[in-house]
Amino acid sequence: MSTRTSPAPLNKAPRTVPSGVAATAAGSKADARIPLRAHLRHTGALVRRNLLWIRQDPESMADAILFPVIFTLLFVYVFGGSIGQSLGGGQQQYVQYIVPGLLAMMGMNLAQGVGTGFNQDFNSGVMDRFRSLPIGRGSVLFAKISVELLRMLLATAILLVVGVLVGFDIENWPGLFAAVGLSAVFGSALMWVFLTLGVVMKNAQSVQAMGFLVLMPLQFGSSIFAPPGTMPDWLRTFTEYNPLSALADAARGLMTHGPVAHDLWVTLAWSVGITAVMAPVAIRTFRTKTA
């Protein structure tokens, strides 16, 4: 009696999917399975983790504490007399001009720290730990931004205290809080840019170098430190379209009951535009790298 043996089934070669597409799809499906309440809980836990890390490493707060003190004293006492005269007054007049400008500058400088810290988390293996946990990828990014906003509010409070000590007169308290909120909105938009740099750059030094190349022209080619009236035409044109000029002028108007409508809407438009473009890029890039 003979037995027939069926031929072994042919092993079909598995379909290959590009790694970038597979990683993005895996990250998207993982996030889709996590409800909103869980996302919020994960974000809160990661915020607490970042705050505990700051408590263990208080030196990481040096920039938020020392930056407003050094820049306020430096510009008030070095440039206050000469620039204040061009404003129609003296050092006191320049104090009223520079403090709202430094408020506008605060969010941009601290936003750079998001990128460097994020990059260090990748290189230190922290992200490998997050990859193994059932958490939403977006929670890691939102936690980073939340902690940096808290650092920014601390730096803003120090700036205002130092400003009052050197003679800054707060003329409009509601406008002051509105200016702080506007600066936080614009700073959070910039954080998405630096989060993306933190993901794609190889090390923290590269993130700092790229941030320096972006920040310096925007800061000094603006109305933060000096009025643009004496600048050459080409630089004045750049200054007029610089979002930092709009933010600084809006902060001055809010704090002193001055004109604010145009600069306010320009700043909000820049903030919404940067967030709409860079937030999806940052989230997609992060999901791809951590999938």
Distance of CA 141 to the CA centre of its chain: 11
With the CA atoms of 230, 254, 65 and 192 taken in that order, what torsion angle do they form, in degrees rounded to the nearest 10? Answer: -90
Residue 31: predicted pLDDT: 55
Tally Cβ neighbours within 10 Å of residue 279: 21
Q: Which of 257, 253, 251, 227 is nearest to 240 (CA)?
A: 227
Residue 23: predicted pLDDT: 40
Asked whether 76 and 91 are in contact (CB, 8 A), the reply is yes
Residue 56: predicted pLDDT: 85
Residue 6: predicted pLDDT: 44
Asked whether 116 and 151 are in contact (CB, 8 A), the reply is no
Residue 61: predicted pLDDT: 85
With the CA atoms of 34, 38, 40 and 46 taken in that order, what torsion angle do they form, in degrees rounded to the nearest 10? Answer: -100
Asked whether 230 and 150 are in contact (CB, 8 A), the reply is no
Residue 44: predicted pLDDT: 86
The Cα–Cα gap between 174 and 181 comes to 11
Residue pLDDT, tens place only, 160-216: 999 999 999 988 999 999 999 999 999 999 999 999 998 888 888 888 888 888 888
The Cα–Cα gap between 181 and 195 comes to 21
Residue 153: predicted pLDDT: 92
Residue 252: predicted pLDDT: 93
Per-residue pLDDT of the chain (291 residues; tens, 9 = 90+): 444 444 444 444 444 444 443 444 444 445 556 777 777 888 888 888 888 888 888 887 888 889 899 999 999 998 888 888 888 788 889 999 999 999 988 877 777 778 888 888 777 777 767 677 667 767 888 888 999 899 999 999 999 999 999 999 988 999 999 999 999 999 999 999 999 998 888 888 888 888 888 888 888 899 999 898 888 999 999 999 999 999 999 999 999 888 888 999 999 999 999 999 999 999 898 888 777
Share of the chain above pLDDT 70, in %: 86
pTM listed for this prediction: 0.82
Q: At what angle do helices 62-86 and 91-123 cross, to 10 degrees?
A: 150
